[in-house]
A and B are shown apart, each in its own frame.
Chain A
Amino acid sequence: MSWLEDRHLFLIAILAYGLSVVYSVFLWRGGFRRDNWTNYSLLASGFVFHTLAMLSRGMSFARCPTQNLYEATLFIAWSMVIVYLFVGIWPRLRFLGAFASPVLFAMGIFALMPGLDNQAGPIQPNRALTSLHAALVLLACGTFGLSFVTATMYLTQEHDLKADKLRALLSMLPSMERMESLIGRLIAAGFILLTAGIAVGIANLKFTQDTFIKYDSMVLWALIIWTVYLLVILLRGLHARRGRSFALAAMASFAFLFLTFWGFFLLSSIHHP
Chain B
Amino acid sequence: MSVTIIGISHHTAPVVEREKFAVADKDIPSILKKLRDCGQIRETVILSTCNRVEIYLTPVTTPEKAIAVAMETVFPGHDVESQADSPFYILNEPESMEHLFSVATGLDSMVLGETEVFGQLKLAYKSAVEHNTTGAILNKAFQKAFSIAKKLRCNTGIQRGSVSVASVAVELAEKIFDILKKQTVMVIGAGDTSAKTARALAGRGVQNILVSNRTYENALSLAKELNGRAVPFDQWPECFDDVDIVISSTAATEPIIDRSILEPLMQKRDWRPLLLIDIAVPRDIHPEANFVENVFLYNIDDLQTVADSYIEQRKQEISYCKRVIKEKSAELIASRPGAQPRESRQDASAGRLNPGLLEPPAENL
Secondary structure type dominating chain A contacts: helix
Distance in Å: Cβ of B240 to nearest Cβ of chain A: 17
Give the chain A neighbours of B270 by CB distance below 8 A.
Answer: 240, 242
Asked whether B178 lies within 8 Å of A162 as measured between CB atoms, the reply is no
Contacts A162-B290, A169-B306 known; 13 new A-B pairs at CB < 8 A:
A161-B176, A165-B298, A168-B175, A169-B172, A169-B175, A175-B175, A175-B176, A175-B178, A177-B273, A240-B270, A240-B271, A242-B270, A243-B294
Tell me the bound Cα distance from A178 to B273 in angstroms.
12
Chain B interface helix/strand/loop/mixed = mixed
Known: A161-B296, A242-B271, A245-B293. A177 touches B176 (CB 8 A): yes
Among residues 57 to 95 in chain A, which have CB atoms less than 8 Å away from a CB atom of chain B? none
B160 — which chain A residues lie within 8 A by C-beta?
170
24 A-B interface contacts by CB (under 8 A): A161-B172, A161-B176, A165-B302, A165-B305, A166-B305, A166-B309, A168-B175, A169-B171, A169-B172, A169-B175, A169-B306, A175-B175, A175-B178, A176-B175, A176-B273, A177-B176, A177-B177, A181-B178, A240-B270, A240-B271, A242-B271, A242-B294, A243-B271, A244-B293
Residues of B near A243 (CB, < 8 A) are 271, 273, 293-294
User: Does B279 belong to the interface (CB within 8 Å)?
Assistant: no
Which A186-235 residues have C-beta < 8 A from chain B?
Answer: none
Instruction: Compute how far the CA of A26 lies from the CA of B189 in the bound complex, rounded to whole angstroms.
Output: 44
How distant is B235 from chain A, measured CB to nearest CB, in Å? 25
Alpha-carbon distance between A230 and B290 when the two chains are bound, in angstroms:
31
> Which one of B161, B175, B179, B305 contacts A161 once the chains associate, using CB atoms below 8 Å?
B175
Task: Confirm or deny: B272 has a beta carbon within 8 angstroms of a beta carbon on chain A.
Answer: yes
**Contact of A36 with B by CB under 8 A:** no
Chain B 154-173 interface mask (CB, 8 Å, partner A; 1/0): 00000011000000100110
In the complex, whether B25 has a CB less than 8 A from a CB of chain A is no
Residues in B whose Cβ lies below 8 Å from that of A241: 271
B217 close to chain A: CB less than 8 A: no
**Interface residues of A, count at CB 8 A:** 21
* Complex Cα gap A157–B309 (Å): 19
* B72 close to chain A: CB less than 8 A: no
* Chain A residue at minimal CB-CB distance from B176: A176
B172 touches A165 (CB 8 A): yes
Best-surrounded residue of A169, A240, A244 (most CB of chain B within 10 A): A169
A interface vs B, CB < 8 Å?
Answer: 157, 161-162, 165-166, 168-170, 173-178, 181, 240-245
Least CB distance, A92 to chain B, in whole angstroms: 11
Q: When each residue 276-300 of chain B gets 1 if its CB lies under 8 Å from chain A and 0 otherwise, what string results? A: 0000000000000010011010100
Question: Across the interface, which residues of A come within 8 angstroms of B306, CB to CB?
Answer: 165-166, 169
Min CB–CB distance A189 → chain B (angstroms)? 19
Contacts of A174 in B (CB 8 A): 178
Q: 7 shortest A-B CB distances, which residue pairs?
A: A240-B270, A177-B178, A243-B294, A242-B271, A178-B178, A175-B178, A176-B176
**Do residues B161 and A170 form an inter-chain contact, with CB atoms below 8 A?**
yes
Q: Decide if A157 touches B175 in the complex (CB within 8 Å).
A: yes
A-chain residues with CB within 8 Å of residue B290 when the two chains form the complex: 162
Instruction: Tell me which residues across on chain A come within 8 A of B298, comparing CB atoms.
Output: 165
CB distance from B333 to the nearest CB of A (A): 33
> Which residues of chain A are near B172, meaning CB under 8 Å?
161, 165, 168-169
Nearest-neighbour CB distance to chain A for B341, whole angstroms, equals: 38
Q: Chain A residues with Cβ under 8 A from B294's Cβ?
A: 242-244
For the complex, what is the distance from the CA of A232 to the CA of B172, rounded to whole Å?
A: 29
| Closest beta carbon of chain B to A180's beta carbon, Å | 8
Chain A hits for B176, CB < 8 A? 161, 175-177
Residue B174, interface by CB 8 Å: yes
Q: Which residues on the B side are within 8 Å of A181 (C-beta)?
A: 178
